[in-house]
Amino acid sequence: MGYSDQRFDVNLSILFTELPLLERPAAAAKAGFTAVELWWPWVDAPTPEQSELDALKKAIEDAGVQLVGLNFYAGQLPGPDRGALSVPGEESEKFRANLSVAADFAQSLGCTALNALYGNRVEGVDPAVQDELALENLVLAAREADRVGAVLLIEALNKPESPLCPIVSAPKAIEIVDKVNAATGLGNAKFLMDLYHLSMNGEDLPSVIEQYAAKTGHVQIADNPGRGAPGTGSLPLEALLDQLKKAGYEGWVGLEYKAADAAASFGWLPAEARAAR
């Protein structure tokens, strides 16, 4: 098995960031990849001009890569925010305004996975009020995802780097997944298993995989410590991905690691294993 048995995609919001957004899909293709994913690229604009959406769509199509994952609007990423949907007021409104825009964009490129980041706790707001708002917004997001034939992803972040985010463990994310599915009856909410975040939380990764592979809709990786490419830290990523495969996971594995020079960072992955089969 090993890395050559996986379907990898490149997250263009963390890799190739030395290039303008519209040049990144072609750079991923040049490096041998056939699939990409993105955070919501317009951090200040949940509803950008159609011309901007069209330009990004064209860049992805011209590069010949498939978009396999997209975040709904999540505030400033990277930056102080950790999502918008549980934040009362303007941020929640921006999230709602973005839902149909992001879903339509995903559909236009055949992307079937939409990630909804929960958001930070807000000082002076009852967490129960935030959680109620979050569930309302996640139900709306699940319905939008379903409308375009997509799954809704719910991701666990890590507490050291996201101390104000309440979704910082696999069991907590799964609890939210189950609540959303119970509320909608659609069954399209899935766990986004980011092995870097879970390892930063000190979670038992083989146990997480064993328990939750069946509810997992997308996987992301980076090594730990450092959030660099596989092999730069101490996580047994190849073995963990093998375990996921054996547990029945057949989805995408997003490369969401940091590298000063993205093109030079793929040495761990044989060139023939970069194009998804």
Amino acid at 41: P
d(CA 112, CA 7): 15
CB within 8 Å of 68: residues ≥ 6 apart: 9, 35, 36, 37, 111, 112, 113, 252, 254
| Residue (of 192, 248, 160, 247) closest to 37 by Cα position | 192
Q: Is the dihedral of CA 69, 212, 256, 270 positive or negative?
A: negative
| Neighbour tally for 258: CB within 10 Å | 17
Residues carrying an active site annotation: 155, 256
Tell me the Ramachandran region of residue 153: left when phi exceeds 0, alpha when psi lies from -120 to 50, beta otherwise.
beta
Report strand pairing: 113-115 vs 252-255. Answer: unpaired
CB within 8 Å of 163: residues ≥ 6 apart: none
Report whether 26 contacts 60 (CB < 8 A). Answer: no
d(CA 133, CA 114): 19
